Amino acid sequence: MRAFLTIIPVFFLLFSCKTEKKEDTESLLPSTETEVIAVEYAKGFTIEKYAHMTVIEVKSPWPNSNRSFKYALVERDKLAAMTLPKDAYDAIVPIPVEKLVVTSTTHIPSLEALGIEDKLVGFPSTKYISSEKTRQNVYSGKVKEIGSNESINTEVLIDLQPDLVVGFSINDQNKTYETIQKSGIPVLYNGDWVEETPLGKAEWIKFFAPFFKLEDKADSIFNNIESEYQKARELAKMATSKPTVISGAMYRDIWYIPAGDSWAASFLADANCDYLWKDTSGTGSLSLSIESVLEKGEGAEYWIAPNSFNSYDQLRETNEHYTRFEAFKNKKVYTFSLTTGDTGGILYYELGPNRPDIILKDLISILHPGILPDYQPYFFKPLNP
């Protein structure tokens, strides 16, 4: 009888522990109630928040993609107890992330804006990094060189043991990413470069934020960028004239110029100028002959972004036909290639997609000098003599 009485409390204790553990586990099942995070301009991703986890779906990882990727971000201390549907996600990432690798310079300004650049441990071709804080981390050895995007050194990357790799690709045939994933390191696609609008590209800061539980900070940063962009666009509407503009330059025998629906053409439209190819279709570049550009744009008042040319002498020496443009004759050619980082990387390519408000203000100050009289352009500078 005494032994039986001893067993009873033990039985109830065991039953109680099992019941409590079951309740804990059930409470961590993905909830059917979701909160959809507002993504207004970017078309390439969505964010949904559940209890203890966030789901990011990347819908446009590369141009004309016929598939999307779904990623589960699970609170690190809840992951062991979380029950997730099998094969429902392309990657599962414990958060907050402690170490990561990114593969495009356009990713870095988002990390710096969120104050998490010290979480970056590796990057392919570090010589191209221009952002100041991350550049210093490269110098100090905090950010390791991992080869190039075309040939990532997977051994070095795996030794770094990042919590995730943020990659980009032109298709789903990247064998290097497959190798990384097989080692147990999640690879997530970022499609910021596919976006076609200035604010759409900038909104990808919201993609990075949930990995570090910094959604509120990302919202605040983006809302400020959006507000500044919209205010600048409204100011541009006050202009009393719309100067004519050409863009691009020759590469070999072809003049590449932004198509009318492209990211670059969007800035010119919002700067309230008459971009002479604004009515063309396409989101990339048009391929034209120099004769056709001369015929249409020889008298244009401004020449914006002549590729990587830095000086009028360079233009003249490369092709004498450049000197026939009125913008060349009147010294109204402006380039972004003079704004570089320590190692010569062009900041426009790195920071520009993240800060469309700065690009737009630059263009307005150039094309409509009276509207922002005290503004000093950051990316765009007059071509050197």
Please report the domains of the chain, with CATH numbers, ordered by start residue.
27-225 (3.40.50.1980), 240-382 (3.40.50.1980)
Given this model, what pLDDT does residue 20 score?
40
What is the DSSP track for 337-349? TT-B-TTS-BHHH
| Cis upstream peptide for 94 (omega within 30°) | no
- The per-residue pLDDT for 9 is 37
Contact of 272 with 239, CB cutoff 8 Å = yes
pLDDT at 31: 53
| DSSP conformation letters of 135-161 | HHHHHTTSSEE-EETTEE-HHHHHHH-
CA atoms of 64 and 332, how far apart (whole Å): 37
pLDDT of residue 219: 97
Listed in sequence order, the residues at least 6 apart from 281 whose beta carbon sits closer than 8 Å to its beta carbon are 259, 260, 261
| Cβ pair 143, 121 in contact under 8 A | yes
Q: Which neighbouring-strand residues pair with 311?
A: 384
Q: What is the pLDDT along the chain (385 residues), one digit of tens a residue?
A: 333 333 333 333 333 333 343 334 334 445 556 788 889 999 999 999 988 899 999 999 999 898 999 999 999 998 888 888 878 999 999 999 999 999 999 999 999 999 999 999 999 999 999 999 999 999 999 999 999 877 899 999 999 999 999 999 888 778 899 999 999 999 999 999 999 999 999 999 999 999 999 999 999 999 999 999 999 999 999 999 999 999 999 998 999 999 999 999 999 999 999 999 999 999 999 999 999 999 999 999 999 999 999 999 999 999 999 999 999 999 999 999 999 999 999 999 999 999 999 999 999 999 999 999 999 999 999 999 9
Give the β-pairing of 100-102 and 144-145.
Answer: unpaired
Is residue 358 within 8 Å of residue 377, measured between CB atoms? no
How far, CA to CA in Å, does 108 sit from each of 46, 213, 245, 290?
Answer: 21, 17, 31, 36
- CB crowding 208-223: b at 16 or more within 10 Å, else e: bbbbbebeebbeebbe
Give the sign of the dihedral formed by CA 362, CA 366, CA 369, CA 374.
positive
Other Cβ atoms within 10 Å of 156 Cβ, number: 13
Q: How far apart are CA 190 and CA 206, in angstroms?
A: 11
Asked whether the whole model's pTM tops 0.85, one would answer: yes
CB atoms near residue 281 (< 10 Å): 8
Query: Quick check: helix, strand or coil at residue 23?
Result: helix
What is the DSSP code (8-state) at residue 247?
E
* Cα separation, 370 vs 123, whole angstroms: 43
What are the angstrom distances between the C-alpha of 102 and each of 134, 154, 180? 12, 14, 13
What pLDDT, on the 0 to 100 scale, is given for residue 209? 97
CA atoms within 13 A on the CB side of 347: 18
CB 238, CB 172: distance < 8 Å: no
Given the structure tokens 């795996």, which residue do they identify? 158
> Whole-angstrom Cα distance, residue 227 to residue 232?
9
330, 302 in Cβ contact below 8 A? Answer: no
